[in-house]
Amino acid sequence: MIRWSAFRAAAGRLRHGWRPVVEATLAATVAWLLAADLVGDPQPFFAPAAALIVLGQARGQRIRRAVEVVLGVAAGVLVADLVVQALGRTTGTVFTVILITVALAVAVGATGVSLVQAAVSALYLVAIPPVHDTLVPFRFVDALVGGVVAIVVSHLVGARRPLAPLVGEVRQTFDQLADLLTEVADALDARDAPAALAALERARGMDAAVDRLRDGVRAAGEALRLHVRRRRHIGRLRSVDGAIRQIDYVVRNVRVLARAGVTLSRQPAPPPPALGGTLRGLADAVRAAGAALAADLDGDTRAADRHAGEAERVTLEAVRAAGRLFTPGQTLPLAMIVGQVRATAIDLLRGVGTDDDAAVLTRVDEALGLAVP
């Protein structure tokens, strides 16, 4: 029986992930046509293969990977040519070619793609002789064509808004963090230990979101460097790159908070009724901080300042609420949650850059009710 929900899910994934499909199809086709018609290679296999290999790398690493692919092909072709001329095409030739190629690649420090590409290139040359004897190094030229085409296509697909994927990642990461805090709040309100444990499992997976943000910064930097007229926007990336460190701290704080929430949900005494509202207020602060960073990336300074101000206001309100919760006789898990609300607030405000570190610490501790010298 056909499940329409599966089709809808597939359509949704395709709608959000259309970019790799377009890039791969266009780059492989153009690379094949250029190698076949312009270069004149009767077997232009390496051109689309190199294009797909480069596109298969994380965005932000493609220029370096393209160079590695070309150098790997050059090394593999050179070794294979010399060995084939000396030994002919035999089983021993395959053994010798792979041994020498991989050994040389490791000796010069090649790893990953460049090492594999050198070995595959050499093996292909041994297994499939060229159609015509020629002095033109078609396979090397094919790899060069494929790498260049991959970079150009990757750039053109995102040329209009090179920062858009990173903006989307920022929004998604902060929304996930806010949703996570809301889940913890709901679990504590309901004293639902399984729900609190599920929130903790989600919190443990948030490190991947931070890694995607770092990849997004590298990809956006690569796109901007290739786009001459948009290089002035690189300054925006520097501010976000610095903020990612604070986002990483926020993720860790929320994970510890979620772990304390699991413990608190299992206590015989119910948590304070206002705790859920405090965590939801912190979730609102997280969303406002995400909106500030996204607006900064979009170049909307006025909106970025407005959201940053909102993030500061809501954050300090959540800290004040947390300070009122911690009264004498409260449990250790509650103390841990209050402590992580404070830590999260500090890192959020540092991330949106509302003030210097000393001023942030002072305002947060004053809101919490701590004596500030």
pLDDT at position 142 over 50? yes
pLDDT at position 87 is 76
Most confident of 55-69, 134-148, 162-176, 194-208: 194-208
| Entry pTM | 0.66
As a whole number, the mean pLDDT across the chain is: 79
Comparison of pLDDT for 265 and 38, the residue scoring more: 265
CA 222 centroid distance within chain: 14
Per-residue pLDDT tens for 288-321? Answer: 999 988 888 777 888 888 998 999 999 999 999 9
Question: What's the CA gap between 85 and 112, in Å, rounded?
Answer: 28
- DSSP tag of 72: H
Per-residue pLDDT tens for 310-365? Answer: 999 999 999 999 988 877 777 888 889 999 999 999 998 888 875 677 888 888 88
Domain architecture of the chain: domains with CATH = 8-157 (no CATH), 164-368 (1.20.58)
pLDDT, mean of residues 148-157: 74
Per-residue pLDDT tens for 160-206? Answer: 566 777 788 888 889 999 999 999 999 999 999 999 999 999 999 88
pLDDT at position 278 is 94
Buried/exposed code over 250-265 (b: 16+ C-beta within 10 A; e: otherwise): bbbbbbbbbbbbbbbb
Q: Tokens for 76, please give them.
A: 């593999």
Q: Tokens for 258, please give them.
A: 């979620």
